Amino acid sequence: MFLNCDIGESFGAWTMGMDEHVMPFIDQANIACGFHAGDPVTMRKTVRLAMEHGVSLGAHPAYPDLQGFGRRSMALHPEEITALVSYQVGALSHIAGSEGGILSYVKPHGALYNDMMRNEEILEGVLRALSSSPHPLSLMAMTTADNRKLRAACARHDIPLILEAFADRAYDEQGFIVSRSRPGAVHRSPDTIVRQACNLAEGLPIETIEGTSLNLEADTLCVHGDNADSIAAVRAIREALGERV
């Protein structure tokens, strides 16, 4: 079980995230590519930081919406999505290469991520960008109770799939993340977070918000580096799961 984190989300004079503090504990860095956050200088700095810590490099492409931090859905044509994912992935991949690194996967950000999970045409748009890449790339996407459609789509494009789950979010019986607007949607207790992380890592069922048991496939857990509390949670998960290989 790996730990992945959204990173490199500063922009120009604005700082966001405690990248230096979370980097030692994670395996995979989802690096912003300039459309929702990140700028060329920040991207290079972030690639260097990740490489110093032996963290895998991933692209975190988004809708072109700095003002909305890529969190506002935009009605783009799938061909536009393919092109803008290729653009952002290429920019980061080249900066990584110029530092001696290799970009290995892509995790769409924010509204693009959500839209991709519920709209097959948008998923196709993303996958076409990955399958046309001159070097191999995996897709990181959200696990649910039934990943067959997602697996099939990736298989059609010959794209390896990395399934991510959340240790700090409640799931419902159908295997979907509970909306933040609902009470109990976000786990606050470190014990609960660590327990859910360990169960996911060991292939054991987790408890849903309804109290039932749920089995979820997962290759990686999404963690957060926003503040001291989330860094503490990442550290606790890391210790519970054991050292990075």
Would you tell me which residues interact with a copy of itself (CB under 8 A)? 10-16, 34, 37, 39-41, 43-44, 64-69, 71-76, 79-80, 83-84, 86-95, 97-99, 111, 129, 132-135
Closer residue to a copy of itself in complex, CB, 68/160? 68
Question: What is the closest distance, in whole angstroms, from the C-beta atom of residue 153 to a copy of itself in the complex?
Answer: 19
Q: For residues 203 and 101, give the distance between their C-alpha atoms in angstroms, rounded to a whole number.
A: 32
Q: Report the nearest approach of a copy of itself to the CB of residue 95 (Å).
A: 5
- Shortest Cβ 106–a copy of itself spacing (Å): 12
Q: CA torsion angle for 54, 186, 163, 203 (degrees, to 10)?
A: 100
95 phi, psi to nearest 5 deg: -65, -40
Q: Please give the Cα distance from 245 to 239 (Å, whole number).
A: 13
For every residue of 195-240, DSSP letters joined together read HHHHHHHHT--EE-TTS-EE----SEEEE--SSHHHHHHHHHHHHH
CB of 123 to a copy of itself, least distance (A): 18
In the complex with a copy of itself, the residue whose CB is nearer, 72 or 182, is 72
Residue tagged 């839209």 (tokens): 115
Measured from the CB of residue 90, what is the shortest distance to a copy of itself in angstroms?
2
Helix or strand or coil: residue 141? strand
Tell me the β-bridge partners of 4: 28, 222
Nearer to a copy of itself, 14 or 176 (CB): 14
What is the rounded CA–CA span in Å between residue 60 and residue 42?
14
> Which residue, 207 or 226, is less far from a copy of itself as judged by CB?
226
Query: Which residue's CB is nearer to a copy of itself, number 49 or number 66?
Result: 66
